[in-house]
Amino acid sequence: MKGAVVDVDGTVLRGETAIEGALEGIDALRDAGVRVVFFSNNPTMTSDALARRLKRAGVSLGDSTAFTSASLTARYIAENCASPAHVTGEEAVVEALENVGVDITDAPQEARTSVVSVDRRLRYDDIRDGYVAATNAEHYVCTDPDTVVPASDGYIPGSGAVEAAVSRAAGRQPVVVGKPSEVAAETVLDALGTPADETVFVGDRLDTDIALGRSVGAKTAVALTGVTTGDDLHVSENDGHRPDHVLDTFADVRDLL
């Protein structure tokens, strides 16, 4: 194995703390010369912010990269879409695009790429601007498909909910980056520089992390430290995204080396 794409929440971090076994697992991969990227579907954080969060919890990044769906979307747009881009979303998406040299416009009618993402301060005018941009731009991209995301007191609307409003008005569907899209898997593999059949995708969710790896034919491993339990693995509705390996904690990744 040459590369590993590692989910963050529920796999190596719980809140701001490293999960048991996480640090040992990372060390084992590094010692074996495996290249590692961390990948979180959260589009409200830049990769720098995610890297700082990992470091605060004691996860040493070494030469690893930390991607959020914001930074991965920016990378996708820089390589595949035209500038300038208009953003319906939070500052992290704008920052991520600027970091890879994509010009940003506040004038939606001038956008050649329209980007939509969650915006926790969304107003009607933002939906209007998103609609104008999505209607006119050559490229229309959404950071991630999450319609709801976990919050401290249940669930809150995510990028998919904002995208639904803009798409419904514009009568158009975006390219969706973020897990579990094949676009995300290909972009993250390109960044990692390892072939799919020598890369393992590790995460705590079958419908995102495992589906992501399977979309490009990579090896997959579910860590039972987050949302997936041992019982879930026997539920037939999960047949479409059955992992190759089951890890009690991330430390068990050493058994795959």
Residues engaged in binding Mg ion (CB under 5 A): 7, 9-10, 204
DSSP class of residue 252 equals G
By beta-carbon proximity to Mg ion, the closer residue of 9 and 119 is: 9
Distance CA 132, CA 102 (A): 20
Rg (C-alpha) for the chain, rounded Å, is 18
What totals of helices (H) and strands (E) does the chain contain, helices first?
A: 8, 14
By beta-carbon proximity to Mg ion, the closer residue of 146 and 204 is: 204
Q: Measure Cα distances from 13 to 49, 76, 147, 217, 252 in Å.
A: 14, 26, 22, 26, 16
Only one residue has tokens 């990744």, namely: 253
Bridge partners of 7, per DSSP, are: 39
Clarify whether 146 is annotated catalytic: no
Question: Read out DSSP for 185-207?
Answer: HHHHHHHHT--GGGEEEEES-II
By beta-carbon proximity to Mg ion, the closer residue of 9 and 126 is: 9
User: Among all residues, whose Cβ is closest to Mg ion?
Assistant: 10
In angstroms, give the least distance from the CB of 9 to Mg ion. Answer: 4
Clarify whether 7 is annotated catalytic: yes
Q: Where are the strands (E) in the chain, listed by range?
A: 3-7, 13-14, 17-18, 35-40, 65-68, 85-88, 113-116, 139-142, 148-151, 154-157, 175-176, 199-203, 219-223, 245-247
In angstroms, give the least distance from the CB of 132 to Mg ion. Answer: 35
By beta-carbon proximity to Mg ion, the closer residue of 119 and 204 is: 204
In angstroms, give the least distance from the CB of 193 to Mg ion. Answer: 24
By beta-carbon proximity to Mg ion, the closer residue of 34 and 223 is: 223
Among 251, 198, 243, residue whose Cα is nearest residue 225: 251
Distance CA 130, CA 141 (A): 11
Active site positions, annotated: 7, 9
